[in-house]
Structure 1
Amino acid sequence: MEFSRYFLFFFASLGAFNGVLLAAWIYHKRREITGAPWLSLLLLMLSIRIGKSIAFYFSPGLSKDILQLGLSACCLIGPSLFSFCVRNLNPNKNSPILRWHFAVWLLVVVFTGAVYPYHSNLELWQTWIYRGSGYAWFGYLIAASWLYRHKLVALWSRQSTPNWRDLPVVVLGGGWLIWLAYYTAAYTSYIMGALSFSMVLYLSIVVYSGGGRTKEKYAAQTISPQQSHELSTKLTQLFDDELLFTDPGMSLPRLAKRLGVSHTKLSQFLNQHYGCNFNQFINRYRVQHAQSLLLQEQSLTMEHLAELCGFNASSTFYTAFKKYAGQTPSQFRAQQTRKLSS
C-alpha cells in the first residue's frame, strides 16, 4: 500500500473510530444533552456504516456478514437522526412513539437480515437495500429539515448566527454533507463518504474548541468607563423599554447598528462588561422575560412562551431556561404555583 493510500486509510478510519468514542461520551453526558441517547445512536450507526465503507474500499473481498452489518446500520441512520431532532423540539416530552418508531425499523432490519442474509441474496442487498437505505436516509433528512425550517432560514439569511446550543442544526448540516458524499460517490469515489464523515467530525470539534477563545481575544483590549456607561445605558433602554430581545431575528450586527457601534466593539463590550457573548446576553434577558410571563399567564403553552420571548426553537428555549433558572419552565411554574397557594 503506497503512502497516499496509507494516509487515506488512516484519516478515514480514525474518523469512524472517534465517532464511536464520541457516541460513548455523549451517552455518558445524557443528563446534560437533550436527546443524547438518539445522538449517540446516530453516531454509532454512522460509524458502523463508515467502517464498512472503509473496509470494503481497501478490501473488496470483505466478508458478506460485515457488508450486511454496514448496510443494516445505514437503514437506521435516518430514524436515529429524525428521532434526535424531534426529541430536541420537545425536550420535556420523552415520547414512547419515538422508541416504537425506531423499534419497528430495527425489527424489520433484523428480520430481513435473518431471513434473507446477504451472502445468499446478493441482488436484494446490493440493489434494493443499498438504494433503499439511502432513500430512507434522504427522506428523514427532508423531514427533519422541515421541522427546523425557521431556524435554517434564519441562519441562511444571516438573521441568526450558528450556535452550538442549536445542536440539531449542526447534526442536520453534517448529515446532509455525508449523505451527499455517498449519493455522488459514483461520480467521485466510494471512500468520499468516509472522508466526509471524518471532515465533518473534526471540523465540528475545531469550531467547538474555538468557541471559548472569545474572552482571550479581548483580554488585552479595554473600553473606557465613559464608553461603557453610554453603551450600558443605551442597551438597557433598548432591552427594558423596547423589549428588543423578543425579536427572534435579533443578531449581533443588528443590535450594534441600533446602538451606533461596530459589532466588534459591541462584542468586546459584552465580554468586558458582562462577561458573556451576545447569545448568552440576549438569552439571559429572554429567560427573565419568560419567568415574568410564567407568573402572569398560567394558560400559556411552552411553545407560545418560547415564541413570545424571541426563541427560534423550543429546544433552545428549554436549554437556555434550564441553564439560567436552574430548572425547566414547567418546574419553575409548578414551584411558583406552590408558593402562591401555600
Structure 2
Amino acid sequence: MSSEALIFVIVQLLAAAQGILVGAYLILVSKRNKPTFPLGIFLFLFSLEIVPSILKNLNVWQELPLLHWLPLRNIWLLSPLFFLYTQRVSIFKRSNRVYWMFLPGLLVLVLKPLALFVPEQWLGLDNFNRDVSQISFILGHGYCFFIGFLNIRYIDAHIAEVNEVFSSVYRKELKWARTFVVFGLLLCALSLGILLSGTGYQWTHLPFVVILLLTVYWLSFYGTKQYSVQRVLTNPTEYGLVLRPRSKALKPQKEPKEMGVMMVKLQDYFHAEKPYTDPELNIVEVAVALGEHPKKLSKAINVFTGKNFNRFVNTYRVNKAKELLVDPSKANITMEGVGSEVGFQSKSAFYSAFKSVTGTTPLAFQKRPETAT
C-alpha cells in the first residue's frame, strides 16, 4: 500500500471512529425514550457506512466474500431513525410513532444472515455480489427519499404549529433538522448518480469522507443541543398534528361575533398587561388569562389579523420597541437591550421581526423614524 493510500485509509478510520464512538456514547447515556437515543443509533449506523470502503482498501473485502453480507450498510434504517428523532423533539412528540417505517430495514437485517446458507460458489461470484448490492443500494436510496420527504413535511407542520403556539421560536423551529434532511436527500441523489455513472462507491472518494466527517460534527452539535419542544396542552388530541394547506385561510364567516369579542379582549389584555414582554409567552397562557380555549383563540388571531400567534405577538413587541427607540430617556440602552426589554430572546430575532414589521432595521428607524412602514 502506498503512503497516499495509507493516509486515505487513516482519514477513513478517523471519520468512521468518531461517528461510531459518539453514537455509542449517546446510546449508552440516553434513556430509550429520550431524543438522543435514536440520534445515537443514527450516528452509529451512519458512520458504519464507511466501513465497507475501509475493508475494501485493506483488501479484506476481496479475501473474505462473506463480509459482504454483514449489516454494515443500513440505508434502510437511517431515514426512519432521524424521523423518529424529529418526532421526539417536535411539538408533536406525543403523536403516534410511525414504527412501520422500520419494517423494510429490519427485514433486510433478517435476510442478510441467510447469505450463510447460499452456496459458496455463488458468494464468490462477482456478478452475484455486485447485482444484489446494487439492487439493495438503489431500493434503499429510493426508500430514503420517500421517508425524507415525509420528514420534511412533518417538520414544516411542526414549524407552523410552533409559530401558532409560542411567541418566541428560538431553538424551537427545527430548521437545522430540515436543512439536514434536505442535505441528506441531495447526498442520496449524488450517490445514485455516482453508482449509475460507474465511477465507484462514494466513500472511496476523499471529498465524501470529508463530508461524512463534517456531517457527524454538525449533527452531534445541533442534535445534542436541541431540546424537546414542550407540548403545552394537556390533551394531545386537542392541538394535534394537522397538515392543512397554508393557502387555505380559516373562514371568517364561522362564529364572527364570538371571535370579534375574543379579539377585543385579547387587545385590551395586551395593552393593559403587556404580556408580550415575557420571552416565553405562549398561547395557552394567554388563553387561560382570557378564559378562552387556545385553539379558538389561535383561530381568531388567524382570521382577524392574518397572522399566526408568533407574528401577532412580535407586532406588539416591535411597536413597543419603536417607542423606546425614539424615547430620549432610553437613549443609552443598546439595541440588544431594547429587544430584550420588549420580549425578544436574541438580537437576531429582534432585528428579523423589526425588519418584517417595519421594513427597516432598528438602527435605521432610530435615525429616521418617518421611513418606517
Q: TM-score, normalised by structure 1?
A: 0.53
Contact 1:152 1:169 in 2 (8 A): no
Please tell me whether the aligned partners of residues 39 and 82 of structure 2 are also in contact (alpha carbons under 8 angstroms).
yes
Mapped to 2, the partners of 1:32 and 1:275 lie a distance apart of 35
1:163 aligned to which of 162, 171, 193:
171
**Which position in structure 1 is the counterpart of 2:185?**
176
Please report how far the alpha carbon of residue 94 of structure 1 lies from its aligned counterpart in structure 2 after TM superposition. 7.1
Separation in structure 1 between the aligned mates of residue 340 and residue 277 of structure 2, nearest angstrom: 20
Which has the larger helix fraction?
1
Instruction: Determine the structure 1 residue equivalent to 2:47.
Output: 47
- Partner amino acid, structure 2, of 1:185: I
Asked whether 1:77 is paired with 2:78, we answer yes
Q: Given the alignment of the two structures, is residue 201 of structure 1 paired with residue 216 of structure 2, yes or no?
A: yes
Distance 1:148-1:171 versus aligned 2 partners, 3 A rule: same
Inter-partner Cα distance in structure 1 for 2:109 and 2:12: 26
Q: CA deviation at 1:83?
A: 2.9
2: CA distance between counterparts of 1:164 and 1:54? Answer: 38
Matches within 5 A, 1:94-109: 95=97, 98=99, 101-102=101-102, 105-109=105-109
Aligned CA distance change for structure 1 residues 238 and 253 (closer, same or farther; 3 Å): closer
Quote the Cα distance in structure 2 between the aligned partners of 1:76 and 1:133: 9
Aligned partners of 1:21 and 1:174: how far apart in 2? 23
Structure 1: 5+ residue stretches without partners: 155-159, 212-233, 282-342
Residue pair 1:27, 1:40 contacting (<8 A) in 2 also? yes
> Hey, what's the Cα distance between the residues in 2 that align with 1:123 and 1:5?
24
Question: By how many angstroms is 1:16 displaced?
Answer: 1.6
Q: CA deviation at 1:114?
A: 0.8
> In the alignment, what sits opposite 2:135?
128
1:24 lines up with 2:52 in the alignment: no
The 3 A distance-change label for structure 1 pair 272 and 7 is: farther
Query: For the structure 1 residues 273 and 17, does the alpha-carbon distance in structure 2 shift closer, same or farther, using more than 3 Å as the test?
Result: farther
* Equivalent pair of 1:270/1:278 in contact (CA under 8 Å): yes
**Of the candidates 123, 131, 145, which is equivalent to residue 152 of structure 2?**
145
Question: CA offset at residue 141 of structure 1?
Answer: 1.0
Question: Using the alignment, how far apart are the partners of 2:41 and 2:20 within structure 1?
Answer: 10
**1:71–1:182 Cα change, 3 Å:** farther
The residue type equivalent to 1:78 in the other structure is S
Q: State the Cα distance separating 1:132 from its structure 2 match.
A: 1.2
The code of the aligned residue for 1:65 comes to: L
Of structures 1 and 2, the larger Rg is shown by 2
Deviations 1:273-297 (A, max 9, x none): 999647999xxxxxxxxxxxxxxxx
Whether contact under 8 Å (1:49, 1:70) holds in the other structure is no
Asked if the contact 2:48/2:73 (under 8 Å) is kept, the reply is no
Structure 2 equivalent of residue 119 of structure 1: 123
The alignment status of 1:91 with 2:93, answered yes or no, reads yes
TM-score (norm 2): 0.50
Given the superposition, is the C-alpha separation of residues 165 and 145 from structure 1 closer, same or farther in structure 2, using an over 3 Å criterion?
Answer: closer
Aligned partner (choices 266, 271, 276) of residue 239 of structure 1: 276
CA distance in 1, matches of 2:78, 2:182: 14
Residue 314 (structure 1) aligns with: none
> Where does structure 2 lack aligned partners over 5 or more consecutive residues?
162-167, 227-270, 284-307, 326-332, 351-373
Corresponding residue SS for 1:55: helix
Return the alpha-carbon distance in structure 1 between the equivalents of residues 334 and 29 of structure 2.
36
Report the Cα offset of residue 58 of structure 1.
6.0
Q: Is the 8 A contact 2:75 2:140 kept in 1?
A: yes
Deviation at 1:200, TM superposition (A): 1.2
Q: Which residue of 2 aligns with 1:68?
A: 69
Tell me which moved more, 43-52 or 103-112.
103-112
Distance 1:51 1:248 in 2: 48
Deviation at 1:67, TM superposition (A): 3.1
Distance 1:146 1:23 in 2: 26
Report % sequence identity. Answer: 14
1:150 CA drift (Å): 4.0
CA–CA separation in structure 1 for the residues paired with 2:30 and 2:113 = 31
Change (3 A) 1:38 1:203: closer
Q: For the structure 1 residues 104 and 34, does the alpha-carbon distance in structure 2 shift closer, same or farther, using more than 3 Å as the test?
A: same
Change (3 A) 1:249 1:73: same
